[in-house]
């Protein structure tokens, strides 16, 4: 039964039991109304509302959005609760989120165990609280705190919720007994039916200027997103209108959000993130291997960041470098990074020290004998990696997982150096590794099922979004990135400035434009990689000549103070550099290209088409398991705006036929083979099928 009711002495207890997260599906909403009616009619003096399982209600059932609504709606359920003639007490554990917290806000009193959290994360789904959250929260805690909570979507701990006034009491577990005791106490003192709807929003921070300032701030912080602006409008309505009118305004805004493309995209990403770690066809009996201690080889940019990921999750790390100097440098960088986090107030000094102490340095492979997982992050050279893996094979205990963080190299070749290819896997982190959430798990030909299961589990444990990839040059993300980076170079030589190109992409919502990203990563990296390639492998010189010319002038990007842009040595502020425009002109003339004006639409479209076409190839070759996996990779590894849903979602929304036609037009215009539509795309269009149809047929 989704919702049950019992009478415990003189207290009615309504229990929701809808695993895994007690989402407010139609059945739960109906069950709540029925149970409430029973409680109203019996001898109970107060009613406790609580949940079975791991959490209080974690929100509306997201899978119901976009489908026809079914009565009772959540606002109706909440009105029934708030209108009850006996005190209703919400008893919270786990995460009371979204509609779940709105149910609690409709109760007359709220208690929570100390490790509970409450929040209104709707904004992360392109939504706003649609069942009174924007009207009740400002009544309880004022406009500033309410906007802070609702526009960020971040949950707050029970202690903070108590301090703010969102809940009334923090209780000790077991929750049911504590909630019953609290209810009896309220009955004994004749507590009133405290309805948040009857409160007024404190006037002090509700001025027109205040709301205007929030609109500007959120316009910058959540650039391009519609829901945050609507949230401000709803909270403003709470401060200006009577409760029922405010609620109606909120509902209207909420319904429009549920119908928006941005919310459809964000909901797609929500479910895709949860699908991605599931490996299709994996032996169901394969259990993750226990990971208690981790080794990392190489304490450079990536190794240090990866070490922090594990230390942050409380997992001890042994970091191995070539020599003491390298080790000192690596450990110092880790210390510096923790220091920055502390100085930003995001971590206590004590906690930073505790985490740093979990990372132990060594130069001796013998110290890796006990690790359960080792991740290699040395130079991107097959020769060096082969040496490292041969050594790991000698020292690591049987069953230890040997992983490589390589960006491009063949994981099968690396695995073959060892006597245990079944234990070798790619774990490809993204820079900065302690921040970026994507983790590509690269499955080599012999990788064992339980190694994949472990990789997915450990990825989640350290807060990453793991995505499975097969071996190819660049796996999912970097293979697509090559096509995208090519377009940036070609748009430049055809006449677009770096600023115009980056502007077109950031205008779409990308966190950074491709050329600013190049400057951040260092232009020498691509340059060195190209040096190892033959001319044929490098492709059309127009797709790299500007980058090469800049590196040869010593313009390596941010680290040398100049790349596609010039950087202020103090502030790192970026400015346009006429010297770069001269380089572009010179290269265009050298390669016989006459500059023309490119529109931002053309620039954006070419970049997106380059990603999408390669995405279809990657899917067909089985490099990625699902279109959603590609989307998750691009959102969490490459700054693709989640509210655009990722490249494959974009393609599906635009229509596969339109994508195919655009690719054909580009092919006609340029004569370039890479614009030929991917065979999978052609096939789907000719059969009138979608990517979802293709996935359904495959499995
Ligand atoms: N609706 C439907 N399914 C949901 C869901 C929801 N609100 N929340 C979680 N699920 C599903 C997940 O898809 C997943 O399914 P799967 O096992 O088939 O992959 C399963 O529940 C478990 O979820 P997680 O893997 O995310 O479990 P965690 O324990 O890691 O996290 C959680 C639990 C913190 C509750 C997390 O699931 C979460 O953040 N959920 C979303 C919460 C949310 O956004 N609520 C607001 C919804 S919108 C709303 O309420 C509108 C209202 O204002 C009217
Ligand atoms: P880096 O040059 O910053 O660090 C490499 C470190 O490895 C150096 O500190 C070096 O002293 C050490 N090292 C070299 N040989 C070693 C050996 N035999 N034993 C122990 N230590 C050794 O390089 P970075 O950027 O950290 O890259 C490392 C790996 O991660 C490469 O395979 C790279 O392709 C990959 N990668 C890099 C990303 C990036 O953005 N920098 C992103 C994702 C993957």
DSSP string, 468-481: EEESSTTTTHHHHH
**Tokens 């100085």 map to which residue?**
343
Helix extents (H) in 97-242: 99-106, 133-141, 143-152, 158-164, 175-188, 208-221, 227-240
Contact 185, 169 (CB under 8 A): no
Task: Name the residue of 296, 300, 322 whose CB sits within 8 Å of the most ligand 2 atoms, as the mutation to test its pocket.
Answer: 300
Which pLDDT does position 204 carry in this prediction?
83
List residues bridging with 440 in a β-sheet: 428, 467
Pairing of strands 46-51, 88-92: parallel
How many whole angstroms from 286 Cα to the centroid of ligand 1?
25
How many whole angstroms from 381 Cα to the centroid of ligand 2?
9
Pairing of strands 574-575, 424-429: unpaired
Cα(210)–Cα(223) distance, rounded to whole angstroms?
19
Residue nearest to atom 1 of ligand 1 (CA): 61
First-to-last C-alpha distance (Å) of the chain: 32
Ligand 1 touching residue 122 (CB < 6 A): yes
Ligand 1 touching residue 97 (CB < 6 A): yes
Atom of ligand 2 nearest to the CA of 388: 18
Q: Specify whether 82 is catalytic.
A: no
How many whole angstroms from 406 Cα to the centroid of ligand 2?
9
- Cα–Cα distances in angstroms (integers) from residue 9 to residues 14, 45, 183, 228, 539, in the given order: 14, 9, 12, 46, 79
Contact 211, 232 (CB under 8 A): yes
Q: Which 8-state DSSP code applies to residue 372?
A: S
**Tokens 């023309």 map to which residue?**
596
Ligand 2 touching residue 407 (CB < 6 A): yes
Atom of ligand 1 nearest to the CA of 63: 2
pLDDT averaged over 10-residue windows placed end to end, the chain, 699 residues: 97 98 98 98 98 98 90 97 98 98 98 98 98 98 97 98 98 97 97 96 90 97 96 98 98 96 97 97 94 98 97 98 97 96 96 97 98 97 97 98 96 98 98 96 98 98 98 96 97 98 97 96 89 88 97 96 95 94 97 97 98 98 98 98 98 98 97 96 98 92
Cα(211)–Cα(190) distance, rounded to whole angstroms?
39
What is the phi/psi pair of residue 593, to 5°?
A: -100, 125
Nearest to 50 by CA among 113, 98, 141: 113
Which pLDDT does position 341 carry in this prediction?
94
Residue nearest to atom 25 of ligand 1 (CA): 274
Task: Name the residue of 21, 460, 461 whose CB sits within 8 Å of the most ligand 1 atoms, as the mutation to test its pocket.
Answer: 21
At a CB cut-off of 8 Å and minimum separation 6, what does 269 contact?
Answer: 631, 632, 635, 642, 645, 646, 649
H/E run at residue 46: strand 46-51
Which pLDDT does position 529 carry in this prediction?
83
List residues bridging with 50 in a β-sheet: 15
Does the N-terminal peptide bond of residue 72 adopt cis geometry, omega within 30 degrees of 0?
Answer: yes
Q: Specify whether 570 is catalytic.
A: no
Nearest to 381 by CA among 356, 404, 357, 358: 404
Contact 407, 479 (CB under 8 A): no
Cα(365)–Cα(396) distance, rounded to whole angstroms?
9
Contact 557, 464 (CB under 8 A): no
List residues bridging with 40 in a β-sheet: none
The model's pTM? 0.96
Task: Name the residue of 302, 383, 525 whose CB sits within 8 Å of the most ligand 2 atoms, as the mutation to test its pocket.
Answer: 302
Atom of ligand 1 nearest to the CA of 124: 44
- If one counts every other C-beta atom within 10 angstroms of the C-beta of residue 262, the result is 21
Ligand 1 touching residue 99 (CB < 6 A): yes
At a CB cut-off of 8 Å and minimum separation 6, what does 40 contact?
Answer: 84, 85, 86
Catalytic residue among 30, 76, 82, 102: 102
List residues bridging with 306 in a β-sheet: none
Q: Which 8-state DSSP code applies to residue 595?
A: P
Ligand 1 touching residue 102 (CB < 6 A): yes
How many whole angstroms from 432 Cα to the centroid of ligand 1?
27
Cα(168)–Cα(533) distance, rounded to whole angstroms?
66
Ligand with minimal distance to 102 CA: 1
At a CB cut-off of 8 Å and minimum separation 6, what does 390 contact?
Answer: 417, 418
List residues bridging with 469 in a β-sheet: 442, 624
What is the phi/psi pair of residue 521, to 5°?
A: -75, -30
Residue nearest to atom 19 of ligand 2 (CA): 322
Residue nearest to atom 36 of ligand 1 (CA): 58
Ligand with minimal distance to 407 CA: 2
Cα(453)–Cα(140) distance, rounded to whole angstroms?
45
Q: Give me 548's structure tokens.
A: 């090469």
Chain centroid to CA 245: 35
Contact 138, 201 (CB under 8 A): yes
Which pLDDT does position 336 carry in this prediction?
96
At a CB cut-off of 8 Å and minimum separation 6, what does 185 contact?
Answer: none
Contact 262, 229 (CB under 8 A): no
**Tokens 């992409």 map to which residue?**
505
Q: Give me 32's structure tokens.
A: 């709540």
Cα(142)–Cα(200) distance, rounded to whole angstroms?
9
Q: Give me 303's structure tokens.
A: 């190794």
Contact 372, 292 (CB under 8 A): yes
How many whole angstroms from 563 Cα to the centroid of ligand 2?
22
């Amino acid at each position: 039964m989704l919702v049950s009711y019992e009478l415990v002495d003189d207290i009615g207890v309504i229990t929701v039991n809808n695993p895994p997260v007690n989402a407010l599906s139609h059945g739960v909403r109906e069950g709540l109304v029925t149970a409430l009616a029973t409680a109203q009619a019996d001898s109970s003096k107060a009613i406790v509302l609580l949940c079975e399982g791991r959490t209080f209600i974690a929100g509306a059932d997201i899978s119901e959005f976009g489908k026809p609504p079914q009565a009772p709606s959540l606002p109706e359920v909440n009105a029934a609760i708030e209108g009850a003639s006996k005190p209703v007490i919400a008893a919270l554990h786990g995460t009371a989120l979204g509609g779940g917290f709105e149910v609690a806000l409709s109760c007359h009193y709220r208690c929570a165990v100390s490790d509970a959290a409450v929040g209104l994360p709707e904004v992360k789904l392109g939504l706003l609280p649609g069942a009174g959250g924007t009207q009740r929260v400002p009544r309880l805690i004022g406009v500033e705190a309410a906007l802070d909570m609702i526009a960020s979507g971040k949950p707050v701990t029970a202690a903070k919720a108590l301090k703010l006034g969102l809940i009334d009491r923090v209780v000790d577990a077991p929750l049911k007994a504590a909630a019953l005791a609290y209810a009896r106490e309220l009955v004994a003192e004749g507590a009133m039916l405290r309805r948040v709807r009857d409160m007024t929003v404190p006037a002090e921070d509700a001025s027109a200027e205040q709301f205007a300032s929030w609109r500007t701030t959120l316009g910058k912080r959540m650039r391009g997103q519609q829901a945050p602006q609507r949230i401000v409008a709803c909270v403003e309505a709470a401060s200006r209108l009577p409760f029922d009118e405010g609620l109606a305004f909120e509902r209207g805004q909420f319904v429009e959000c549920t119908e928006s493309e941005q919310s459809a995209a964000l909901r797609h990403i929500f479910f895709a993130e949860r699908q991605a770690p599931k490996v299709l066809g994996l032996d169901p009996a394969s259990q993750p291997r226990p990971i208690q201690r981790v080794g990392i080889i190489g304490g450079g940019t990536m190794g240090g960041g990866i070490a922090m990921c594990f230390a942050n999750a409380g997992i001890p790390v042994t970091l191995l470098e070539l020599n003491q100097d390298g080790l000192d440098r690596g450990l110092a960088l880790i210390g510096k990074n923790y220091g920055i986090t502390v100085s930003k107030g995001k971590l206590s000094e004590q906690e930073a020290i505790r985490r740093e102490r979990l990372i132990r340095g060594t130069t001796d492979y013998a110290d890796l004998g006990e690790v359960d997982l080792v991740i290699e992050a040395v130079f991107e050279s097959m020769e060096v990696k082969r040496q490292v893996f041969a050594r790991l094979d000698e020292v690591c205990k049987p069953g230890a997982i040997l992983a490589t963080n390589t960006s491009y190299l063949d994981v099968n070749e690396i695995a073959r150096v060892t006597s245990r290819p079944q234990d070798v896997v790619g774990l490809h982190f993204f820079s900065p590794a302690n921040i970026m959430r994507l983790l590509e798990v690269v499955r080599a030909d012999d990788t064992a099922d339980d190694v994949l299961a472990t990789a997915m589990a450990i990825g989640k444990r350290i807060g990453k979004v793991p995505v499975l990839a097969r071996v190819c040059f660049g796996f999912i993300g970097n293979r697509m990135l090559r096509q995208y980076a090519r377009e940036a170079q070609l748009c430049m030589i055809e006449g677009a400035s770096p600023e115009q190109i980056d502007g077109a992409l950031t205008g779409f919502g990308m966190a950074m434009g491709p050329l600013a990203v190049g400057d951040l990563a260092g232009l020498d990296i691509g340059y060195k990689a190209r040096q190892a390639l033959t001319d044929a492998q490098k492709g059309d010189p127009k797709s790299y000549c500007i980058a090469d010319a800049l590196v040869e002038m010593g313009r390596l990007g941010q680290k040398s103070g100049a790349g596609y842009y010039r950087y202020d040595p103090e502030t790192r502020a970026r400015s346009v550099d006429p010297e770069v425009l001269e380089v572009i002109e010179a290269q265009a003339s050298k390669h016989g290209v006459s500059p023309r004006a490119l529109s931002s639409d053309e620039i954006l479209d070419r970049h997106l088409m380059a990603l999408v076409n390669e995405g279809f190839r990657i899917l067909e070759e089985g490099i990625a398991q699902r279109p959603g996996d590609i989307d998750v990779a691009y959102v969490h590894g490459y700054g693709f705006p989640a509210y655009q849903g990722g490249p494959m979602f974009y393609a599906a929304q635009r229509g596969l036929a339109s994508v195919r036609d655009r690719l054909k037009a580009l092919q006609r215009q340029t004569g370039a083979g890479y614009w030929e539509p991917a065979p999978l795309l052609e096939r789907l269009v000719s059969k009138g099928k979608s990517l979802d149809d293709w996935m359904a047929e495959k499995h």
